[in-house]
């Protein structure tokens, strides 16, 4: 589904990604781990079209994404839940959600209503707060809105960057449960996450990055048999 080959990204003179190669298959939840500043978010931004790679290939469903604007990438079926949520503070919850529907090829009122109803059924808290401004939501609610907003567009692949950062453990659990449910629905996910133990429970495969490179690739092993894997991933 998603294929990244030999990707290089520069920030001015700084070489942030050094030939990253990575893939996400249909229905996979792939974890991307590593310390802060190793290039995980840079990779997500490059896939989403926020950064222009200096070299390498990004393909989605066989189509090259190089040079496409983020809105075109979104229309191909890639949904982005960025690191800092980026909820629109002046827009209501429902306005935020409706924006996620913009990329649908057929935008009928009935379809929009059905998608909103489906999202509200999944996130009852957002349904209660549908008329509230984005800025009035708690951190957990904003994170749910950021994910829900993308789900309205029914993406084929979700890029989720640090979804539990700064959230209370109980809210983080809800986010992991949500990602697990996405997995059971066959939605592909590329997940960047710091909570290794919990993230491995929802992933099917994982990568570890260090200094702008992929340094590990493998399965997630069974719970209780992950000591060696955790040692590999704690790069």
Partner 1 sequence: MADMHGLIDTLQFVFAPQIVNGLSIGVAVILMALGLTIIFGLLDVINMAHGEFYALGAYLAVSLLAAGVNFWVCLVAVPVLMLPVGYVVERALIQRVFDRKDRHVLTLLLTFGLGVVLEDAFRVVYGPNTVRVDTPIGGAAQILGMYFPNYRLFVMAVGAAIVAAVWIVVFRTSMGAIVRAAAYDRQMASSLGVPVARVYSATFAFGIGLAGLAGVLLAPIYSVFPTMGKDFILLAFTVVIVGGLGSIKGAVIAGIVLMQIQALASLYISPVWTDPLLFGVMVLVLMWRPRGLFGALGNG
- Applying CB under 8 A, the residues found at the interface with partner 1 are 48-50, 69-71, 73-75, 80, 82, 86, 88-91, 95, 98-100, 102-103, 133, 135, 149-150, 153
d(CA 12, CA 20): 18
Residues constituting the chain: 235
Pairing relationship of beta strands 55-60 and 2-11 according to DSSP bridges: antiparallel
- For partner 1, the closer of residues 33 and 123 by Cβ is 123
- For partner 1, the closer of residues 94 and 201 by Cβ is 94
Min dist CB 83 to partner 1, Å, is 11
What would the two tokens of residue 151 be?
A: 């789900």
Phi-psi category of 77—alpha, beta or left, where left has phi over 0 and alpha has psi -120 to 50? left
What would the two tokens of residue 101 be?
A: 């529907």
Min dist CB 87 to partner 1, Å, is 9
d(CA 235, CA 232): 7
d(CA 36, CA 209): 10
- For partner 1, the closer of residues 14 and 184 by Cβ is 14
- For partner 1, the closer of residues 103 and 143 by Cβ is 103
């Amino acid at each position: 589904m998603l294929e990244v080959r030999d990707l290089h990204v520069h920030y001015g003179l700084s070489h942030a990604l050094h030939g990253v190669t990575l893939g996400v298959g249909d229905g996979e939840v792939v974890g991307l781990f590593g310390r802060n500043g190793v290039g995980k978010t840079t990779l997500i931004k490059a896939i989403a079209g926020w950064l222009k790679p200096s070299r390498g290939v990004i393909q989605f469903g066989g189509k090259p994404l190089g040079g496409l604007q983020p809105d075109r990438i979104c229309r191909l079926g890639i949904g982005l839940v960025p690191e800092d949520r980026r909820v629109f503070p002046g827009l209501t919850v429902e306005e935020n959600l409706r924006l996620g529907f913009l990329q649908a090829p057929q935008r009928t009122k009935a379809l929009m209503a059905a998608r909103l109803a489906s999202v509200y059924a999944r996130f009852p808290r957002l349904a209660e707060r549908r008329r509230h401004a984005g800025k009035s939501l708690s951190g957990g609610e904003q994170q749910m809105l950021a994910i829900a907003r993308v789900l309205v567009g029914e993406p084929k692949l979700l890029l989720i960057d640090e979804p539990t950062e700064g959230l209370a453990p109980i809210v983080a659990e809800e986010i992991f449960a949500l990602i697990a449910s996405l997995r059971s629905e066959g939605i592909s996910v590329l997940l960047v996450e710091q909570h290794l133990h919990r993230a491995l429970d929802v992933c099917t495969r994982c990568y570890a990055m260090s200094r702008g490179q992929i340094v590990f690739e493998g399965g997630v092993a069974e719970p209780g048999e992950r000591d060696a894997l955790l040692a590999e991933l704690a790069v």
